[in-house]
Amino acid sequence: MELRHLRAFTAVAEELHFGRAARRLHLAQPALSQQVKQLEQDVGAVLLERTTRQVRLTGAGTVFLEHAHRVLREAELARESVLVTERGERGELRVGVTGVITWRLLPRMARAYRRRYPHVRLELRPSVFSAAQVSALIDGRIDVGFLRAPVPAGPLASRVILNESLMAVLPQDHPLAGEPEVHLADLADEKFVSYVSMQGSALRDAAVHACFSAGFTPRVVQEAPDTHTVVALVGAAVGVALMPASAETLQIEGVVFTPIAGGVDVRVPIALAWREGDPSPVLAGFLTTAEEVLPSPGPGSGER
């Protein structure tokens, strides 16, 4: 039994005329008659009574027509489902996110993507540090990630979507807290609070590099596992920190965020990363939407 047999039978059953059914299916009438006969042999019953004047359904044919309609509908739904999936309009996408700034970017991106692909399920996979996302991408545990650059080349492809500025985070009673800007060199003798050194924090690396560029090595007196804790420790006057501007949205009491002055490069790129050569049409749709919603920044651009 083949779908063409079911289509032949349903056409004749609906038209009750072999000639009209043949024209509807763009078949020669003998070919159509042969397909109906083959179907009757397969099911082991006469489905149509034929005379020189009329065609009508038998009792078995009436019952079988209902099932034939159902099978053909399911076949068409299956075909459409495959095509929709192939176009990236149905499926699942696992999205890694890290850092306060990505939670600010993600709603805008997710809204635009859901408008275009309402049947794709976005599964968010948060992580504290970018290194964990890189591992998850390489291992196939996520499909795309918002993370702090740089992203290792080779197995991964990436595109910078934002340059975020680092700021000096000071206790509110710090002597420099009231200044409009702070030179990094003025913090050379300060105690610093930072992320845990062994957890692969791109932000920690960027902050240390900025201090090196200003001529000193930061003296880290306490490490913390996440942004909330780093800023809270600054509020407790444990030390100062260099944090992305987006951390100010945490609104933790007792701290002041102050821009960094001078020629030191204190920008931290945010990138979108994915596996190089991933053929997923769902991923392709996400990346295309991201190019429009989150275009790459121009040279020298940054965000406060």
Q: How high is the mean pLDDT of the chain?
A: 88
Residue 230 within any structural domain of the chain: yes
pLDDT cut 90: percent of the chain above it: 52
Residue 62 within any structural domain of the chain: yes
133, 172: one domain = no
Q: Is 168 exposed, middle or buried (0-12, 13-18, 19+ CB in 10 A)?
A: buried
224, 135: one domain = no
Q: Average of pLDDT values for 221-246?
A: 93
Q: Looking at the 3D structure of the chain, how many domains does it have?
A: 3
Greater model confidence, 84 or 122 = 122
Q: What is the pTM of this model?
A: 0.66
179, 44: one domain = no
- What is the crossing angle of helices 29-43 and 3-15, to 10°? 110
pLDDT digits (tens, 9 = 90+) for 175-191: 999 899 999 999 999 99
pLDDT digits (tens, 9 = 90+) for 26-54: 999 999 999 999 999 999 999 999 887 88
Residue 145 within any structural domain of the chain: yes
Segment (H or E) for 96: strand 90-97
Residue 74 within any structural domain of the chain: yes
Residue 299 within any structural domain of the chain: no
Residue 260 sits in a domain whose CATH number is 3.40.190.10
Q: What is the pLDDT of residue 150?
A: 81
Q: How confident is the model at residue 304 (pLDDT cuts 50, 70, 90)?
A: very low
Query: What is the spatial distance between Cα 60 and Cα 36, in angstroms, rounded to a whole number?
Result: 14
Residue 32 sits in a domain whose CATH number is 1.10.10.10
Q: What is the pLDDT of residue 292?
A: 94
100-114, 116-130, 253-267, 289-303: least confident range: 289-303
Residue 303 within any structural domain of the chain: no
Instruction: Print the domain residue range for 244.
Output: 165-265
Q: What is the pLDDT of residue 94?
A: 93
Greater model confidence, 88 or 93 = 93
Query: What is the spatial distance between Cα 199 and Cα 248, in angstroms, rounded to a whole number?
Result: 23
Handedness of CA 249, 254, 259, 262 (dihedral sign): negative
Query: What is the spatial distance between Cα 192 and Cα 270, in angstroms, rounded to a whole number?
Result: 24
Q: How confident is the model at residue 238 (pLDDT cuts 50, 70, 90)?
A: very high
107, 199: one domain = no
